[in-house]
Chains A and B, each alone.
Chain A
């Protein structure tokens, strides 16, 4: 509340949406002119099941502060049940992120049906705020070679972050 606008941190978030439900939810938000934060940039996959964990890690490595994974609601998958596979990978990825020293809160899973434009916009906004609170991801891919190194880099990043926040 007391932050001045220019000191506000603007995270970059990469979003993965499936072609059938969540991308259409984003379209729906657009058609209905619902406003949300401009921090999310979407990539369209045919299905959330297509989400290779590499995509998520590459996004973080490339400078994203957070990643949004979005698919059809469980039971509504256009490809029967592939979103369940996305869900399993999501939980696995969270654990990997923790091991890398990245806050698990930087990865979000969102089920959105084609009719849930309003919900999509609302969830994007709250995610942006959550990531804003976490601060920038300080993870320089050029220096990352070993897990230990990752941990130390992330730890430094946290200290730095703490200073900024203060």
Chain B
């Protein structure tokens, strides 16, 4: 690697991170080594300090920049994803261009993953050597400033999405709220009571739904899905398919005559969880927002047989439009909030619990609908026959959660949900209630008190994972009942508990299409399917992609208060961004040197963002910096070497490779972990 003419003055700063780094790596040795051995590369000072990221640590660097006239800084500490900004800002504060600072990771990639102290220390030296070699070729850069579009796209109209949309709209910024179903409301709209206070779900939710529906700043796009997203923070362009409702919304009054007259009954698998029917033209529930119905074209007799049109005949405003087409909308937004929620675990997968085979085994959502006074049984808790009240009810916790065969995670809401069910069953029927639990988890405000209330109400709690729910009865007392086989792990006894009704408190799962959603928005999801936040503790709202935020259960199972809090938090983050009016983007971009470009157009096809234009007249290509995302594929692909990747140039990387290879891995210990 040829050296630059003028020698840089480089400062090296090695962090102890308490014992996180210093416990494994001999920090003093590394620092001394760098001062002595990297002199030729331009290292003029090398220091170590307990916590480089503390204000004292930062001041140390700033002082050296000013006093020693450092032109480059290498900090060896944690991952650049954690503190790159911190140290860049420190350099900036001392008058050094922030991009002349390089943070190399000797914690996540060294001290935390290795036990051999000698090898780890040598590796730290090599990593620093790589950083020093690289930083020589850094250039002073200025961040790119792009304006932020004031509109926001909120995907998912459950409680988290509604909350986020309302907060932003109330602050005076436009929101597009996109919901897949015909109405907003999400799962919360299906519930009767909410734990632990037992407020009526509809009473607290519907006012918010109405607000969202009427808000002048909210464009409600129900029965719609986002199909495509382009662009980047500040200016995303989303393509939304607004599915045909088969009626003209402007003319519809939501009077309800059409669904009254519709002759086609359909089992409602979505809102009623299969417990009740709807019509082929329907609103999912009476308080739906918007109030307009949709025609379910899969089940509508007219679309199947070509005749019927009862809805059209009776519609007083003549708004039915069978020929209506899906509408494709393109909206421009600055930020996106994803709040698409969860799916219920399919309890059929646990065959020994008999759901789908034994009629009186219910899922939690079915019970929610059953206990809802607007639900299919009018709020009566009855067996599948629709009339018999159960005398004994068993509630099985952790169905599909905390189970290596299905989902290892805790769904976090099922304990409280089961307690709520137990209370409702007792209140409505006076039945004996058995809770079969692994552990009772009631970690939020007022939850433990609710558990105690249930204990006092005389609900039975049996600690044990249910082995089987069966209709194989043995004793006369079990006749006609379901038998729950379980080991009471507190007494060590095997129990057979005969019940009339079993409720499976099923876990929450990511939406079946969450992987596709993550892909659509260019963010990642975990192996389970929940979307990954930027930081699990300190940034649970943002994602790795700037301008895309997540709220509610799309990030992981959570209850209503937590979903609302996340919705509001996401809104606050977005509003903060909008208020800034513009955003500074990393200046990691490709540039084409015209004099070297041969006009072969190879890069034109490599670019995934169509950011490279070809000038026919001059026969050269040019990168549009507003569209370029800085992946560098064109840099690697250019046969003439005419493209430079700012921040990741060939010189920088090749030099870093050389630096990394300065030292061998010490022989001594077997290293296999």
Within B579-617, the residues touching A (CB, 8 Å) are 588, 606, 608-609
**Interface 1/0s, chain B 622-650, versus A by CB < 8 A?**
00000001111101110000000101101
Q: How far is the CA of A26 from the CA of B667 in the complex (A)?
A: 24
Chain A interface size, as a band, is: 35 or more
Within B637-673, the residues touching A (CB, 8 Å) are 637, 645, 647-648, 650, 653-654, 656-658, 660-661, 664-673
Contact B80 A58 (CB under 8 A): no
Q: Shortest Cβ distance from A79 into chain B, in angstroms? A: 4
Contact A43 B673 (CB under 8 A): no
**Interface 1/0s, chain B 72-102, versus A by CB < 8 A?**
0000000111000000000000000000000
Contact B79 A121 (CB under 8 A): no
Q: How far is the CA of A63 from the CA of B126 in the complex (A)?
A: 13
Q: Identify which of B130, B629, B637, B671 contacts A128 (C-beta below 8 A).
A: B671
List, in ascending order, chain A residues with CB within 8 A of B666's CB: 10
Within A81-102, the residues touching B (CB, 8 Å) are 81-82, 85, 89
- B522 contacts A by Cβ under 8 Å: yes
Contact A41 B532 (CB under 8 A): no
List, in ascending order, chain B residues with CB within 8 A of A35's CB: 113-115, 673
Q: How far is the CA of A2 from the CA of B109 in the complex (A)?
A: 30
Contact A55 B81 (CB under 8 A): no
- A80 contacts B by Cβ under 8 Å: yes
Contact B636 A34 (CB under 8 A): no
Contact A82 B673 (CB under 8 A): no
Contact A10 B79 (CB under 8 A): no
Contact B544 A20 (CB under 8 A): yes
Contact B108 A49 (CB under 8 A): no
List, in ascending order, chain B residues with CB within 8 A of A23's CB: 81
- A115 with B109, Cβ < 8 A, contacts A5-B669, A24-B81, A128-B671 known: no
Q: How far is the CA of A113 from the CA of B522 in the complex (A)?
A: 13
Contact A38 B636 (CB under 8 A): no
Contact B645 A50 (CB under 8 A): yes
Shortest Cβ distance from B79 into A: residue? A27
- CB within 8 Å of B: which residues of A? 5-6, 8-12, 14, 20-21, 23-24, 26-27, 29-31, 33-39, 41-47, 49-55, 58-59, 62-64, 75-76, 78-82, 85, 89, 113-116, 121, 125, 128-129
- CB within 8 Å of A: which residues of B? 79-81, 105, 107-110, 112-116, 119-120, 122-123, 126-127, 130, 519, 522, 524, 526-527, 532, 544-545, 588, 606, 608-609, 629-633, 635-637, 645, 647-648, 650, 653-654, 656-658, 660-661, 664-673
User: What are 5 inter-chain pairs, A to B, with CB distance below 8 A?
Assistant: A6-B667, A50-B648, A52-B635, A82-B606, A125-B672
